[in-house]
Structure 1
Amino acid sequence: MIPRAAMIFAAGLGTRMGALTADRPKPLIEVAGRPLIDPALAYAKEAGADPIVVNVHYRADQLRAHLSHEPVRIADETAQLLETGGGLKAALPLLGEGPVWTLNSDAAWSGPNPLAALARAWRPGMEALLLLVPRERALGYAGAGDFDLDATGRLARGTSYVYTGAQILRTEGLAEIPETVFSLNRLWDRAAACGGLFGLVHEGRWCDVGRPENLALAEDLLREEAR
């Protein structure tokens, strides 16, 4: 069963962006003349996601206004920031049953639609399918890596690949986590323990837009893609 619904994560505080988020939420910071959330929303619509859910917290009124003419449902986290796992769990009544796409809104991409690529690779038996890039090709990324990928496509914690913020995920396991605020790492660890955590390497390029100095990198990537 391929995903029907998509969740776009847009509730973060954006503290690493410094002064850029003093008067706006991070998803409304512009890269190459477009707010970050707009390409994420375009990917979801192009992939056929319905419904599309966006969670909001910091300066939520601005995001609501920006999205007011878009076919989205709003998951309101203004009372409490729930992290990725808690946010997805709270949004399940809006998303419905079945596997879902999730997509972070703070990245720039080239190449094929990341959500459509995940859908083409989704198979029975997968609990989660994460879109990855090799660490050496992760623009603007300063971490040690997230996962290793074996010959069967299964993932284990490691350093070779970086998670891009795009995935397909079965959500049934969320009911087994009693906490309200938690990371999706909890669900990934459960999926890995039963052999259901898989990865797919993105065919294009990817840039983390989580820091001010990465904006220029993202704009360079998008200019190259346009050419």
Structure 2
Amino acid sequence: MSLPLMIFAAGKGTRMAPLTDVTPKPLIEVGGQTLLDRALTLAEQAGTGPVVLNTHHLGSQIRHHVNGRAIAISDEADLLLETGGGLRKALPLLGTGPVITMNPDVVWTGTNPVRALLDAWDDGMDALLMLVPLSHTHGRQGAGDFSLDPAGRLIRRGDLVYGGVQIIRPDRLAEIPEDIFSLNRLWDLLIAGGRAHGLIHDGEWCDVGRPDCIPLAEALLNG
């Protein structure tokens, strides 16, 4: 199975300052490769379909970086829409069916998380989030996000961290009246209906949201 992919590349990267004063966070390098290229490699290895990036902060650098590749741009230069609003704006480029979304500012070890989600996806789901046990995270600040019931459905709060990649049906985005909103709004709708599920990753994960996380990520990748 192949699905379209959206990579969220529009954020300001405030936590990554001062590096993001001159470089958009997706183009920060970890182990000699940009975060964006690491995400694109995972997607390519998993066999995803069309790829869309949204851009805002220093977006011209990202457009230049992917120039010549089969990647569409959803431009948010005039207004940063957050993840939910950004996904909804990009839907004309993605289609109406399920879509993969990725945050590029993380690194993974273990099984390719995109491929694992595609293999586990079921038509009875409206969302399938890749989750990482808090004990297997690096650079994470704060508690976990979710737990799972016996059927693998999401429950708010617990020691499982959302890893930044998921498959989700975008249909119910139309029910949210705001222009600017987080995907948490859509997750809450799907959780209430019992159709949001989670899959636990089999490897390690590092948040690369701050400058001090870069050496943590590189150490993880070097094993």
Q: Could you state the TM-score of these two structures normalised by the residue count of structure 2?
A: 0.98
Structure 1 Cα separation of the partners of residues 48 and 118 of structure 2: 11
**Unpaired runs of at least 5, structure 1:** none
Question: What letter corresponds to residue 31 of structure 1 in structure 2?
Answer: V
Are 2:157 and 1:153 equivalent residues in the alignment? no
Alpha-carbon contact 1:103-1:166 (below 8 Å) kept: yes
Match of 2:110 in 1: 111
Match of 2:48 in 1: 49
Match of 1:71 in 2: 70
**Unpaired runs of at least 5, structure 2:** none
Alpha-carbon contact 2:136-2:203 (below 8 Å) kept: no
1:69-218 pair list within 5 angstroms: 69-218=68-217
Question: What letter corresponds to residue 166 of structure 1 in structure 2?
Answer: V
Match of 2:39 in 1: 40
Structure 1 Cα separation of the partners of residues 190 and 131 of structure 2: 17
Match of 2:222 in 1: 223
**Aligned pairs, how many?**
223
Identical aligned residues as a percent:
55
Structure 1 Cα separation of the partners of residues 105 and 68 of structure 2: 21
Deviation string for 1:165-197 (max 9, x for gaps)? Answer: 000000111111121110000110000111001
Q: Which moved more, 1:49-58 or 1:85-94?
A: 49-58
Structure 2 Cα separation of the partners of residues 45 and 177 of structure 1: 32
Q: RMSD in angstroms over aligned alpha carbons? A: 1.0
Deviation string for 1:27-53 (max 9, x for gaps)? Answer: 011000011100101111222222100
Alpha-carbon contact 1:102-1:168 (below 8 Å) kept: yes
Alpha-carbon contact 2:2-2:47 (below 8 Å) kept: no
Structure 2 Cα separation of the partners of residues 106 and 97 of structure 1: 26
Alpha-carbon contact 1:3-1:100 (below 8 Å) kept: no
For residue 54 of structure 1, give the secondary structure of its aligned residue in structure 2: strand
Alpha-carbon contact 2:107-2:208 (below 8 Å) kept: yes
Structure 1 Cα separation of the partners of residues 173 and 50 of structure 2: 19
Structure 1 Cα separation of the partners of residues 68 and 113 of structure 2: 24
Match of 1:25 in 2: 24
